[in-house]
Structure 1
Amino acid sequence: MVLHSFGPAENLVHESVPDPEPGPGQVRIAVKAAGVHLIETALRAGLSSGYMPPLPELPTIFGGEVAGRVDATGPGVDPGWIGLDVVTSGGQPGGYAELAVADVAAVHRLPDGLSHEAAVAMIVTGRTALEFLDVAALSAADVVLVTSAAGGIGRLVVQYARRLGARVIGAAGGPAKVAAVRELGADLAVDYDEPSWAEAVADRLGGRKVTAVLDGVGGDKARAAVGLLADGGRYVTIGNASKQDFAPDPRLVEERGLTVTNALLLLIGRPEQRPAYEARALAAAAEGTLVPAVQAFPLSEAAAAHAALESRRTTGKVVLVP
């Protein structure tokens, strides 16, 4: 799937290109699953900002999250890699293809029993969720409000917090997503597309307050979530799926002793920790400790996948399957 010009999802074109060849220190992967990331939809549209990667040179093939079977090795790479099932977050030129190359140093072997689709869901989304959770430093005593709780990261955060023993409120958009959050075991699942959702949460808590908001949405929904925080509570954000700017009022933060943390900025600053978190995420999925949700699209329908992700009509990790 090639992007020749920035713009709407339909600009992703399904076409044949020359097979990539692995260079020194690289392997080539016959792709079984490729992850789609929300940031890729912004880059495809030609948008960029301070925390995002620069716009790619065109034409380009997106898709850094790749799982499949090694079918060739480059110079200096042990040919024993050939035939192994692997996953990586460093596909080059990209995973939106039948073949992709990656640096062998960034490749993980798939744990036994883990599917290619689940591996792709965990290699970045799972890693990010674990990093996010480490920043949030939850405990069993917390009352946690998770926004975008039916999304790729949100689902894993809900599962983790429940296993920890915290009380979990999952907020998502629409009845189907709310039902999915309820099935994950959230103590309370609410539809934050309803105007009075925050009041409903406050009523159900019966005077108890939220101690931590883990937010990936931003905008008005984040503002309402922060309004539910107890004095001394913490707001940890990792994204802005709504594309609406939001930052808690500094005066409110000071008066109520709130802690505000932009986890995304922290995580960008420590890339050396990513391989260890990737391994942890893959192991957790293989053990069944964290179970990712996958919504698969055929590779040729990458444009539909982008459109669905942008309009927040997806549940879990969006994956392309050649």
Structure 2
Amino acid sequence: MRAVGFTEFGGPEVLGVHDLPDPHPGAGEVRIRVRAAAVNPTDVASRTGLLGVGTSRPPYIPGAEAAGVIDEVGAGSTWRIGEEVMTMAVPMSGHGGAYAEYLLAPDDSLARVPAGTSPEQAATLPMNGLTALQILELMSLSPGERLVVTGGAGVVGSLLVQLARRRGLTVIADAAPKDFPLLRSLGADHVLERGDDLAARIRAVLGDGVDAVADTALLHEKVVPALRDGGVFVSLRRWRGEPERGIRHEAAWVPDEYRSPEKLDALREAVEDGDLVLREADALPAEEAARAHRLLEAGGLRRRIVLTF
């Protein structure tokens, strides 16, 4: 099979196409003929060495989410050949990353592709959608409570805004002015311009502070003052602030959701119900993975990038 990977850490130029033996599923596993693999910041972290090499051997294959068609099943699998599925992958592990023509996956790491979506769209949902659901689970908010999503126009942020509205939460998001219409269309109740004084402006709008902050923009201590006493702060990079005012600090860690089929299926349902709108994706052939990484690192993207095989 063809796979995109690297043998040493470095810039986008270390990515190349490798010919590897075709994998075959074990008991309770399937093989997915990958149609599209999303490109994410975690892939850059893999390529540059921030995530280490885990249990894998070179070439190291990045990629944390994919969509495709099951073309082989292992003994006892409950899935069938020909079913269109999406999954999160865990690079630097036994099954490897998603930048590959074929990807092995346990039965309980899959969900059907949402009806009416392309493989390119579906590939952008599993990892980031599961991150958003985990954040909401860590917060344990009730309908009507108030949530701040920093970086609301980003990949995780935009999914989180929609899923929070689906749960009846009041959502406040920050963004650049050019992204205000997008966030309003996704259901944000209040959209504020990004800036170092965001916490003060949130307080100006909401008075006694908010119940929770999902810090997808990594503002850290700058946005903690927006919380009411006893609120909850969830970070994406395991940052924890000083214990004060009874604030509870949590950290999202999406690899824990690798085998979360109910949550993955809930994301499918949210898309099919029209409550979760997926970003349009720009598809590049796998051979252009280095270009895809350069585009991602340049920033400012509002469409997703996927690699196709």
**Shorter-chain TM band:** 0.7 to 0.9
How high is the sequence identity, in percent, across the aligned residues? 32
CA shift for structure 1 position 229: 1.5
Equivalent position of 1:227 in the other structure: 225
Q: Which aligned pairs between 1:168-207 and structure 2 lie closer than 5 A?
A: 168-172=171-175, 174-192=176-194, 194-205=195-206, 207=207
Q: After TM superposition, what 4+ stretches of structure 1 lie above 6 angstroms from structure 2?
A: 77-80
Say if 1:248 and 1:102 are closer, same or farther in 2 by CA, change over 3 A.
closer
Deviations, residues 110-151 of structure 1 (Å, cap 9, x unaligned): 343343233322222212211221211222332211012112
Equivalent position of 1:157 in the other structure: 160
Paired residue secondary structure (1:232)? strand
Q: Which of 119, 126, 134 is the aligned partner of 1:116?
A: 119
Q: How does the TM-score come out when normalised to structure 2?
A: 0.82
Q: Which of 269, 289, 313 is the aligned partner of 2:275?
A: 289
Give the aligned length.
300
Is the counterpart of residue 248 in structure 1 residue 241 in structure 2? yes
Q: How does the TM-score come out when normalised to structure 1?
A: 0.79
Equivalent position of 1:243 in the other structure: none
Deviations, residues 63-104 of structure 1 (Å, cap 9, x unaligned): 242211233445x36798332212222484443233333344
Maintained 8 Å contact 2:34/2:69: yes
Question: For residues 22 and 302 of structure 1, what CA distance do their matches in structure 2 show?
Answer: 25
Q: Which aligned pairs between 1:1-322 and structure 2 lie closer than 5 A?
A: 1-13=4-16, 15=17, 17-18=19-20, 20-25=22-27, 26-48=29-51, 54=54, 56-73=56-73, 76=75, 81-90=80-89, 92-172=95-175, 174-192=176-194, 194-205=195-206, 207-218=207-218, 221-239=219-237, 246-250=239-243, 253=244, 256-264=245-253, 274-298=260-284, 299-315=286-302, 317-322=304-309
Maintained 8 Å contact 1:86/1:108: yes
Question: For residues 114 and 225 of structure 2, what CA distance do their matches in structure 1 show?
Answer: 42
CA shift for structure 1 position 208: 4.3
Tell me which amino acid in the other structure corresponds to 2:288: E
Say if 1:283 and 1:165 are closer, same or farther in 2 by CA, change over 3 A.
closer
Structure with the larger helix share: 1
Question: For residues 80 and 222 of structure 1, what CA distance do their matches in structure 2 show?
Answer: 42
Say if 1:136 and 1:304 are closer, same or farther in 2 by CA, change over 3 A.
farther
CA shift for structure 1 position 177: 3.5
Gaps of 5+ in 1: 241-245
Paired residue secondary structure (2:59)? coil
Tell me which amino acid in the other structure corresponds to 2:293: H
Question: For residues 36 and 175 of structure 1, what CA distance do their matches in structure 2 show?
Answer: 25
Paired residue secondary structure (1:5)? coil
Say if 1:141 and 1:98 are closer, same or farther in 2 by CA, change over 3 A.
same
Deviations, residues 183-218 of structure 1 (Å, cap 9, x unaligned): 3221222332x344444333333x342221111233
Question: For residues 110 and 225 of structure 2, what CA distance do their matches in structure 1 show?
Answer: 43
Question: For residues 271 and 81 of structure 1, what CA distance do their matches in structure 2 show?
Answer: 20
Paired residue secondary structure (1:33)? strand
Question: For residues 135 and 316 of structure 1, what CA distance do their matches in structure 2 show?
Answer: 28
Question: For residues 78 and 283 of structure 2, what CA distance do their matches in structure 1 show?
Answer: 32
Say if 1:128 and 1:227 are closer, same or farther in 2 by CA, change over 3 A.
same
Question: For residues 258 and 15 of structure 2, what CA distance do their matches in structure 1 show?
Answer: 29
Paired residue secondary structure (2:124)? helix
Maintained 8 Å contact 1:292/1:316: no
Deviations, residues 5-33 of structure 1 (Å, cap 9, x unaligned): 201122212x3514524243344333221
Say if 1:82 and 1:34 are closer, same or farther in 2 by CA, change over 3 A.
same
- Between stretches 159-168 and 127-136, larger displacement belongs to 159-168
